[in-house]
Structure 1
């Protein structure tokens, strides 16, 4: 069984879309995605520096477009079987919705434009930030986060929780963190996936009715506790709530394990989620689709694992 997964904000790197422009039709496809998202993806994906593409309103559309382009390149071979499930981390859930047939590419780009702008506006309201807490016990980590008046924004794995909140409290956590854990401040614009994003949630709730979702063509695992989304309407409800609620990627991986996933393919810019899977989903096959050079290996993985049960592999 194959899961295709889509990374979240922070995975982008300067120039990471450049290799994809070697494929025929990609520049035109990128132009159409740019128009839908209201962002010059060609320039930002090939020329802009790290600081420019760290901007939430740039990074999020870039990530969704990259995943759509990579998946399109993968499935140029019409006989390739569909994945058994899709999932995305944070903004990657919008990419997953496009790959899973819940949203058209155009609607996915319109949604990420609205989402990123709303989150950027909310983040600008007051100084907030995030930090990864790596190691320690879950009980000690959550207790330290609560003690400093912060929020657990991302439950990434058994060994990694991301705390978010006021910048001075993030600094205090770094000075007085949980036992046997490292606190690593993140270069982000705000406290995403916390109550600080309430205004962004309201903005998305107003925007969501302009979209035309359909039911997933393949199971879509949600960041909301790993719930399997079965309707387009439910997807929109969850994606609106997601901006101000924790991203529970640990539960998504648990859902993959329970359903017998034997392989994970991460679309560009790949590496973060397969890295977590190396520790949490030991024994499954992993592949990253970062450039067209990775396409043959990725297609081989799809042919071997998609549409097969654990017992068949």
Structure 2
């Protein structure tokens, strides 16, 4: 299940809400808890086709992310999926605990709000930065600054890490990364976490949050920051501990895959954790139902395909050391059922992302960070499947340190600026060549309306690099900061922006 991700689109749960009683009940329970805490209901904005309702504040955003994750989880269960394990990234671990039945939906909502409130009270001037390198180099990069609060916060994939730390130091880290030619992208999160700077907020959460009833749960939950299954662990302590801990999504994915997981279902709106899974374990099955035109059909198709292949069996014969089940991490994708998993050492071979599952106590599923939860479907009986959670979008803290004045900031030679009189066709032709050479695609196969990420699979960090090259080529420095070209990027939109930018420059 995803952790801190962007606020969901209005109306995203309209179909699931009208189709499943369990979804309606879960959303009603979240609304009830929100009302008791003086917050507006979240279900109206997520279920009304017209997209009415305004989201307000970080607390509402967290509850909306939770609503999307838990609703997707209930849809999966209603369609016959039997999650083997549930994994969440960052706060997504809280969603996973609720999905697994470790604690109630209402208590999960209250704890999410309490977490947000202590972070807002601390009001830390921090920031998180995704960097396109492995964890070892990202940790070394953060260490250059020699600041205790600037740290490697998340290891998401073989070539994506997150650094968390004071904003002024993160800006220096970004310049150093650029000098080395390492792509980076600031993360738009309400509360940067996973750094020692959050120690005070963690203490406040433990001291002020009422303890809630909890149990072993129906499914296993695997925790990326604990590195083990969640057993008889107090939810308040789990959420507080994660605020200062590093999220090791990459290691969790590989462990689950080594244990037999071969399919992941993300319970978020967009592919976040599944991107980490695909990068860590090529060839596994990843599905993000809510990003499909027909979410239910996407799940049924995966169910049918896994049924044809046969049962996914866990290679782990014994239960976890706690005897209670696998720990779940909350972060940014879909909900997943968790199954107790014994300690598994990550294989040195290629990264793995989908945990396999077997009958109740022998298999593990993994859900990604920052956030969404993922479920892994596995055939456990004639009519049952297991879903492995997608890894949440974790936030990665980066250590802060002394200013970096000795590192050059000009690492890439800039092509001479283009002339002002550019027409759309000539710009599009140049973009096709530039993007095709970088991605290894024939230029004539790059459609002007193809979604760079949704259809061509160009991840956000690569898009940052490419936008930088476009910016240099056409002498449009403001182009780098145009985030809309990353979220819904197509060559048509970029070409039109370049033409308009050059025209304005000429004027």
TM-score where L is the length of structure 1: 0.84
User: Structure 1 stretches (4+) deviating beyond 6 angstroms?
Assistant: none
* Cα deviation, residue 176, structure 1: 1.3
- Verify the 8 A CA contact 1:82 1:307 in the aligned structure 2: no
Query: What is the CA–CA distance in structure 1 between the aligned matches of 2:257 and 2:130, rounded to whole Å?
Result: 24
Deviations 1:68-107 (A, max 9, x none): 1111222224xx2421111001111111111112111111
Unaligned 5+ runs, structure 2: 316-357, 359-378, 380-507
1:10 to 5, 9, 16: 5
- Determine helix, strand or coil for the equivalent of 2:78: coil
- Determine helix, strand or coil for the equivalent of 1:181: coil
Alignment match, 1:145: 142
Q: Is the aligned partner of 1:22 residue 2:10?
A: no
2:131 to 130, 133, 144: 133
Alignment match, 1:62: 64
Alignment match, 1:249: 249
TM-score where L is the length of structure 2: 0.54
- Determine helix, strand or coil for the equivalent of 1:191: coil
Query: What is the CA–CA distance in structure 2 between the aligned matches of 1:48 and 1:151, rounded to whole Å?
Result: 38
Alignment match, 1:3: none
Q: Are residues 48 and 250 of structure 1, via their aligned partners in 2, closer, same or farther at CA, if it must alter by over 3 Å?
A: farther
Deviations 1:132-191 (A, max 9, x none): 1113x5333211112133211222122111111111111111111273411211222343
**Greater shift in the superposed pair: 61-70 or 21-30:** 21-30
Query: What is the CA–CA distance in structure 2 between the aligned matches of 1:191 and 1:285, rounded to whole Å?
Result: 31
Q: Are residues 97 and 270 of structure 1, via their aligned partners in 2, closer, same or farther at CA, if it must alter by over 3 Å?
A: farther
Q: Are residues 67 and 210 of structure 1, via their aligned partners in 2, closer, same or farther at CA, if it must alter by over 3 Å?
A: same
**Greater shift in the superposed pair: 302-311 or 137-146:** 302-311
Say which one has the larger Rg.
2
Query: What is the CA–CA distance in structure 1 between the aligned matches of 2:282 and 2:71, rounded to whole Å?
Result: 29
Q: Are residues 236 and 256 of structure 1, via their aligned partners in 2, closer, same or farther at CA, if it must alter by over 3 Å?
A: farther
Q: Is the aligned partner of 1:102 residue 2:102?
A: yes
- Determine helix, strand or coil for the equivalent of 2:297: helix
Unaligned 5+ runs, structure 1: 1-5
Alignment match, 1:308: 312
Query: What is the CA–CA distance in structure 1 between the aligned matches of 2:52 and 2:225, rounded to whole Å?
Result: 35
* Cα deviation, residue 56, structure 1: 2.8
* Structure with more of its chain in helix, by fraction: 1
* Cα deviation, residue 27, structure 1: 5.1
Q: Is the aligned partner of 1:187 residue 2:188?
A: yes
Query: What is the CA–CA distance in structure 2 between the aligned matches of 1:35 and 1:225, rounded to whole Å?
Result: 31
* Structure with more of its chain in strand, by fraction: 1
Query: What is the CA–CA distance in structure 2 between the aligned matches of 1:11 and 1:207, rounded to whole Å?
Result: 28
Q: Are residues 231 and 217 of structure 1, via their aligned partners in 2, closer, same or farther at CA, if it must alter by over 3 Å?
A: farther
Query: What is the CA–CA distance in structure 2 between the aligned matches of 1:251 and 1:11, rounded to whole Å?
Result: 25
- Verify the 8 A CA contact 1:265 1:288 in the aligned structure 2: yes
Q: Are residues 43 and 171 of structure 1, via their aligned partners in 2, closer, same or farther at CA, if it must alter by over 3 Å?
A: farther
Query: What is the CA–CA distance in structure 2 between the aligned matches of 1:100 and 1:226, rounded to whole Å?
Result: 18
Q: Are residues 190 and 239 of structure 1, via their aligned partners in 2, closer, same or farther at CA, if it must alter by over 3 Å?
A: closer
Query: What is the CA–CA distance in structure 2 between the aligned matches of 1:196 and 1:56, rounded to whole Å?
Result: 19
Query: What is the CA–CA distance in structure 2 between the aligned matches of 1:140 and 1:81, rounded to whole Å?
Result: 39
* Cα deviation, residue 260, structure 1: 0.9
- Verify the 8 A CA contact 2:261 2:312 in the aligned structure 1: no
RMSD after superposition: 2.7
Q: Is the aligned partner of 1:160 residue 2:156?
A: no
Query: What is the CA–CA distance in structure 2 between the aligned matches of 1:74 and 1:208, rounded to whole Å?
Result: 32
* Cα deviation, residue 259, structure 1: 1.4
- Determine helix, strand or coil for the equivalent of 1:132: strand
Query: What is the CA–CA distance in structure 2 between the aligned matches of 1:100 and 1:307, rounded to whole Å?
Result: 22
